Structure 1
Amino acid sequence: MSEPEPLEDDDEEPAPPAGRSFPILAVAGAVAGAILVAAAIYIGLQLRSANQAQADREAEDAAPRPSRPACLALRADGCDPAHQLPVALDPWLAGLGLTMPDDNVTVDGADHVTVVLADANAGARLSVVHARQVVYEIRCEVNSTGTTPMTAEDLAFLARCGRAALPAADTSVDAAVQWLSANVHPAPGGLTERFQCGGVAFSLQIKPLQSALDITVPADRTYCGTW
């Protein structure tokens, strides 16, 4: 009696033929290759985008920027030189031996008003209507710190303030300097004088305990004399 043949296991997967790779290895290799290619393309695009952005920034920095006048937003006629004093803010302050602290700048309406306490002990104060370096009006004040009338030395600050506002090179400077020297002095009975020359108008008021010099732009810039 012959032996029964063994039954085949239907669940057993036949071995792959010799000399052939497993299909899963080929698929994995293709997927890995596709990932590497995609990564290389992505990195290349990122580098290109970064380089382009850097080039755009450099071009923007190198491009000339449009100049906007500092006086544009201040007043309707502010950009007209006929309505500006012939001295810039920093040179005027330098003429008084002063610089502008940032914490002494206030804004009043549409005008930038700079207030500088020049000497707290002597009561000297400056108020300037300006837009950056463009100056429109200046007020120089000297106030007594007590009941003692101000001396010629105290009032000399007003003369220095007025001289610093005069144009650096102008034939009218000498006349204005002479007027300041002749009129800025103690006046027990009070003194009010006005003078203009070289595009600068002075309005001087002296009192025993309080004196001031207002510096503005005259309506007639060609006139030189009292008014």
Structure 2
Amino acid sequence: MSAPAVRLRGVSTRFGERVIHHQLDLDVQQGEVLALVGASGCGKTTLLRHMIGLTQPAAGVVEVLGVRVSPEQFLAQRGLRQRCGVLFQSGALFSALSVLENVALPLLERGGLGRADAAHIARCKLAQVGLAAEDGDKLPAQLSGGMIKRAALARALALDPELLFLDEPTAGLDPLGAQAFVALIAELRALHGLTAVMVTHELERVAPLLDRVAVLADRRVVAIGPLAAVRRADHPFIQAYFAAHDPQGENHGK
């Protein structure tokens, strides 16, 4: 078996006296889509930020694509960052830049391309996520919520990453918009063979994408596996979580 795309060992996170994670272990395998779920405040997005290298745990090791992640080595790990794409919950587009300029920015930051070539690639990425050519000339404030998600995904894919991090990718979308976005991610995964780590509160919406689910509770990963198996895990939080999200007793994820 190949080495994990993401490997966490003994990760502990504290905010003052509050312990968020304690001795947490997690592997994300190459080529899989894994969802992180749990109660609000359990540290899902914090864990994602550790993987991205935006924050550092109080203890433990975080490795991404075989490289140990450390904020102190942020500049030295530029090559690693270019192998990863990030879709933030709000989209995090630069408001003063056009959509096309937002998508072209990672290409220009990497270097080696002129503005015309970067703009051409950016247009291709926008088309790939289902945005029209004229949408590239708009400012983010002129886009709908679903269009912002697509534009942010185009930017995340600008460098053809091996690994994609998604923070609440369907949050704020109506059911049809969420369904379309999930279908888009599935199509892009099939085309590019992406590995993805996803934080979500909307597990049923993204279930068709998932290979495995990791449940955070008690400051650690209490269950990990295919969704159907995780649903059956004998843990009080897991039973309560799925009861709350599936009040009719429907049996999804099989």
What's the TM-score, normalizing by structure 1? 0.24
Q: Which has the larger radius of gyration?
A: 1
What's the TM-score, normalizing by structure 2? 0.22
Higher relative contact order (CA 8 A, sep 6+): 2
